[in-house]
Amino acid sequence: MLRALTLSLAAIVALPAAASAFERITDRSTFMETVGGKDLRIALYGLTINVLDSGAITGRAAGWDLTGSWSWENGYFCRDMDWSGYPIEYNCQLVEVNGDRIRFTVDQGAGDDAVLRIR
């Protein structure tokens, strides 16, 4: 389970995406309108993330604290995180939204993705 959770966190945190239309978020203000003040969750892993306007990331996964920082660069969400002493490397991610689901795809959209619920 630790390996699966680590892989999901690396994608920020992997549920298969539905075939329905996700729409790309291309700017910081739209991103913050979408996630600001809300929990991003994957219940299966006990994962809850908050992306703060200040550039901080807070949350918990599998009972351990998750911290980090983020910025918006050239149309991508770029972040680095720490999961209770386990570093999660810096990565810039494609962000897409579909209703109450948000999808992060690592390596500027070329890698694995993770879909989280917006609550």
CA–CA distances in Å: residue 15 to residues 5, 7, 50, 53, 100? 11, 11, 19, 26, 14
Q: In this prediction, what percent of the chain has a pLDDT beyond 90?
A: 82
- Fold topology of 2-118: Lipocalin (2.40.128)
pLDDT-derived band at 10, boundaries 50, 70, 90: low
Q: Is the pTM of this model over 0.85?
A: no
Average of per-residue pLDDT across 54-82: 97
pLDDT-derived band at 5, boundaries 50, 70, 90: low
CA 100 – CA 105 distance, rounded (Å): 17
CA 112 – CA 119 distance, rounded (Å): 23
Burial of 112 (0-12, 13-18, 19+ CB in 10 A): middle
Dump pLDDT digits (tens) for 81-100: 999 999 999 999 999 999 99
